[in-house]
Chains A and B, each alone.
Chain A
Amino acid sequence: MEYQITHITEYEYEQPIGLCHNTARLALRDTTDQQCKRTTVQVSPQPDQINEYLDFFGNKVIYFAIQREHKNLKVTVQSIVEKKPISGIPLNLYTDIPWTDVRLQLHEKGAAHLEARQYIHHTDFTRPDEEIHRYALQSFTAGRSMYDATKDLMQRIFYDFDFTQGFTTVSTPLTEVMKTRKGVCQDFAHLAIACIRSMGLPARYVSGYIETIPPKGQEKLFGVDASHAWFSVYIPNTGWIDFDPTNNIIPGAQHITIGWGRDYADVTPLKGVILASGKHALQVSVDVRRLG
């Protein structure tokens, strides 16, 4: 299955600005079940400087700077990606590893699980409090398998929390999300990660897209999709398994991964610094479209 993703970000400034620096994490990385065939990045006005590199987590980063006066900035990233059906191991092979064993294995000395171990400790975005830890304990009960416990946690978040756009911002603390039980996909991903890490287990934040299917009989409109976020947990000898608490599903072909990190701050899709004093307005549109 091939998808074409078009992600347009537009800034409009009140005052013309003479210099901006930006980093975009919008180009898709290859994973076990996806292969990015092509990415085109269009920035208007034309940047004076573009650097491309991989970050610490292996995500693709595009840095660009515009050094001439401009009043708006438009970043269009278009990718074509092939999703492969997971050839992987049937679920039942690893579902029975208890989460306590996972914890033991990960804390063993040596290089075996180094990559995963960096995702055990909390970050500013995933700082747990007592309440969050208690919430986690309800899913991570004695003897339960890692897979079942995580899936249970995902389900509970899906049923216990309301998806409410505009209620939270990037800087809303997780404790607030926990208290009000409202948020968006980033919040739910962060919450799940905080829960899992509070159990001493590794979890990472995944940034990406999800294909939305229009109601039967209606044509899909351009730009109705959005960037999405979910989380992933590590099971020794198996690897990372994704969970989407916003939709209560194990991501498959409809989830397209951009990249991952410890939390949102590691994979912010687009950020920038401008030299200006006026206000600015932002518009984002995302389109995920099946090709053939």
Chain B
Amino acid sequence: MISPAAQYDFLKGYFTPEYSAEYIFGENTALRQYWDSFLQSFAQLGEEEILSRSQDMSRFLKENGVTYHIYGHPSGLNRTWNLDIIPFLIDEKDWNIIESGLSQRAILFDLILKDIYGEQKLIKEGILPMEIVYCHRGFLRECVGIQQPGTHNLVIYSADMAKSKDGSIWVLNDRTQAPSGSGYALENRMAMARIVPELFNGLKVKRLSPYYNAMRNALINIAPHNNPQPRIVILTPGSNNETYFEHSFLSSYLGFTLVQGDDLMVKDNFVWLKTLGGLEKVDVIVRRVDDVYCDPLELKEDSQLGIPGLLQVARCGNVSIANPLGSSVIENPGLLPFLPAIAEYFLGEPLILPTIASWWCGQEKELQYVLDHLSTLVIKRIYRESFTRTSIDATLLDAKNLAELKERIKTQPHLYVAQEKVDFAVTPSLVNGKIEPCHALFRSFAVSNQDGYKVMAGGLTRTTLDKENMVISNQLGGFSKDTWVLSGEDSNTVNIKKEQEQGSTVASPVYQSNVLPSRNAENLYWVGRYAERVLGNARFQRTVMQYVEEANRAFMDNDMALKQCLLSSLTRYTHTYPGFTTDDIEKKVQEPWEELGSILFDSSRTGSLGYNLDSFIRSVHSVRDYWSTDTWRVLREMEDAWQLASSAKHKGHYKMLSAVDAIITSMMAFISLNRESISRDQGWTLLDTGRKIEQSLLLISMLQTTLISKQEDMVEYILQEAVLKSNESLVNYRFKYRAHLQLSLVLDLMLLDPNNPRSLMYQLERLKAYVSGLPKMHSDHSLAEHERLALEALTTLRLANKDELCKADTATNRYEELEIFLGKMYKILFSISDVVSKTYFKHAQAQRQLFR
């Protein structure tokens, strides 16, 4: 047992007896100095405060929506990002090596990329074996010869690095396809600066923002035809992608529109963004979709993530892509054994960051060596195959797996590279309240910057508790750390305030008109519809449950008939058939709570509250950058509370009611927050259009299901009361009419009263105004179809004769006039929704291959 060195006595509580402070903090004296300074602040906070700040940190990240998706994991969607409160420290000396090393490597990889898609001198002159390029899936022959403006073809470069026990820094992976992590790095810094600003005391930490400014400039510089105000978009595979948070985060931080493949289209040899108001030309695409998925016409044919014809536009020089299509060919471990020679050939200098000893198995001698020493090596394929690991640590394999690996290498030796296994140093991490050593992998980024590259002074560090395995990936879990590059001088170091504000204050020459991609328009429309649907269903079900409870207690004469009416109305209103509409309804009405629980919580059941809530949450997530932090907090709380309620084992009546209450309160908060705090013209017009259409449809549907068939007076009375109650209009009724409930007055209040914010008249007047505010597709003065329909709905309602509607047909025992009227209104409203979708949500067209 080793006790921590005396100098760290003040941290006693943090150490486990297994590790010495020397082991954890390393022997690098320069770094130790910084650690001492950091640990002073750390200890000053105290154990309790550290614990509470860690929790604050988790909450902060969760509220900001920082997530990372894990594929194939039941709770994998939107796993919250884990951030260690102890950062990864890099001293100035190491940093100088890393910065110049990465910059050199980026320049070198750019030259390799240009050569592969140009003259191929490396291959012709025998410096690089042909197979390493030609057998790599990322070598896209369709991209040969495409020229893009700007000094460098490789706009963004990223590398994973680690420090070995002897203190040297090694590059483990090069990332050139669509490097991820820069957004997480910035978010980590923001979280640290916000939650634990004290820890920065006495340390000069370099700022990250210069990197993003350089990135913005780099993207402007590659714009076609020297356009000084290019439109730049970020192309994402969509909200199910593992790093979607980052795409959306970078989009709002940098001010570039976030798009998916079908938001864009190719026409006249240009790329266009489909917006609510028409097509807008796109100049630069920041690509977060793998290159083979980007053009189903010439690359992967069944891709639904790309833009058909994109390569034609790139070939014409009318769009620039960062990184260009085809750049994944240099994300290629096969290059590593040849890198020193390539550096010598192109730059006439040795690599600043050395490469780990590597052997390409495509050569006979090397293959033999690798087979002979396999159990001491790490094996990599030259290209990644989706979802399989590229790296195999052969030192961890048993005899059987080793033999299998040997066979695989022997069948296709040219696809494998072997690397020496390096012993990596550890870094301190806070694990369950204790400071423990962890392996760390540190990723940084370089972006094209005039003649050279600008390296991010920091990056994303990921750690693993697994002592044996150096394979670290977010897919496998683990923690992330903020990365602090420490500097002796004052300039350009963290000013916490500045770092946070940077995103919004950078003067940007990027062209930004107020465009709304039509996909976002559609999603906002559905957010509006689902928000109201959840609210409407929750209110009605609450009312029904309250009556069922009361009827049980009050022993009313008609309680069976009443309960039957209410419960079957609920089934029809929520479309949760068969529910309370079956023949054995009497039995079900006796014991309704199980079914009521299912209509609430069974989210696999179409029409249930849980189902609609899921749809709502999905729509909200697909337009995530439209919501403020406050709105996110409301949403998280709503989700958490609902999760808790629906997973509770015992679901008493009271608990069900209070779960519904909570949903109603949160949803009201969501709606009013959006009203109060945000104005994004077209988007909100659509959200409100959706809300008004849904509110109108729900109101009509409620009247249809409760009031159409004639009942005994007492039952009818209570049904009318229930309608008013679940529309929050009962008080209003009493105040206004000072009379007993009667159908004609109920209809007056709920249909015709323009001053009742719950009436159909009120909804339709607003709906008419909203749809008139949608962009015009024609320049003449005639009404668009949806405008005409809104006017028709409003006029039909205005012309309605209340007294006629209240006449019951004695033969059928139904209010037939009312039924016909409501049916007609429902149909018109439904058409409005249809026409709005067809006119404005154009991306929704399916794309397919012609067969041949």
Contact = CB atoms under 8 A, between A and B. Distances in A.
B849 A272 contact: yes
B126 to A, nearest CB: 5
B142 A55 contact: yes
Nearest to A54: B145
A55 B143 CA distance: 9
Nearest to B266: A21
Contacts of A277: 845-846, 848
Contact of B852 (A18, A51, A270): A270
A67 interface: yes
A271 B301 CA distance: 10
A170 B131 CA distance: 27
B8 to A, nearest CB: 58
A280 B847 CA distance: 13
B124 A51 contact: no
Given A65-B267, A118-B130, A276-B846, A56 B297 contact: no
B269 A121 contact: no
Interface in A38-71: 48-49, 51, 53, 55-57, 63, 65, 67
A275 B852 contact: no
B126 A111 contact: yes
B123 interface: yes
A19 B309 CA distance: 11
Given A51-B269, A114-B123, A280 B850 contact: yes
Contact of A23 (B126, B135, B298): B298
Contact of A51 (B130, B316, B847, B850): B316
Contact of A111 (B124, B134, B141, B849): B124
Contacts of A280: 850-851
Interface residues of A, number: 38
Contacts of A63: 309, 312
B784 interface: no
The CB with the most chain A CB atoms within 10 A, among B135, B265, B268, B848, is that of B848
Interface in B794-852: 845-852
B203 interface: no
Nearest to B296: A273
Contacts of A118: 130, 134
A22 B141 contact: no
B308 interface: yes
Interface residues of B, number: 34
A179 interface: no
B846 A275 contact: yes
Contacts of A48: 267-268
A127 B312 CA distance: 30
A274 B847 contact: yes
B144 interface: yes
Contact of A110 (B126, B315, B852): B126
A282 interface: yes
B142 A276 contact: no
A29 interface: no
Interface in A52-97: 53, 55-57, 63, 65, 67
B150 to A, nearest CB: 22
B177 to A, nearest CB: 20
A223 interface: no
B124 A56 contact: no
Contacts of A11: 850
Given A49-B268, A56-B141, A273 B850 contact: yes
A53 B125 CA distance: 28
A48 B414 CA distance: 45
Contact of B850 (A56, A65, A111, A271): A271
A273 B848 contact: yes
Given A67-B268, A110-B126, A121-B131, A23 B852 contact: no
B144 A56 contact: yes
Given A109-B126, A273-B297, A282 B265 contact: no
A268 interface: yes
Nearest to A282: B851
Contacts of A275: 845-847
A181 B41 CA distance: 76
Interface in B672-708: none
A276 B848 contact: yes
Contact of A170 (B134, B142, B852): B852
Nearest to B843: A275
Given A274-B847, A276-B846, A114 B267 contact: no
B261 to A, nearest CB: 12
A11 B124 CA distance: 44
A23 B848 CA distance: 15
Interface in A98-150: 109-111, 114, 117-118, 121
- Which of B309, B315, B845 has the most chain A CB atoms inside 10 A of its CB? B309
Given A63-B312, A117-B130, A272-B297, A19 B851 contact: no
Interface in A148-165: none
A270 B505 CA distance: 51
A144 B268 CA distance: 55
A21 B308 contact: yes
Contacts of A16: none
Interface string B293-325: 000111001000000110010011000000000
Given A110-B126, A111-B123, A121-B414, 9 more contacts: A23-B298, A48-B267, A48-B268, A49-B268, A57-B141, A111-B126, A121-B134, A271-B849, A274-B848
17 contacts: A21-B266, A22-B850, A49-B269, A51-B316, A65-B309, A111-B125, A114-B123, A117-B130, A268-B852, A271-B297, A273-B308, A273-B847, A274-B847, A274-B848, A275-B845, A280-B851, A282-B851
Interface of A: 11, 18-23, 48-49, 51, 53, 55-57, 63, 65, 67, 109-111, 114, 117-118, 121, 170, 266, 268-277, 280, 282
8 tightest A-B contacts by CB?
Answer: A56-B141, A273-B308, A272-B850, A21-B309, A275-B845, A111-B124, A21-B308, A277-B846
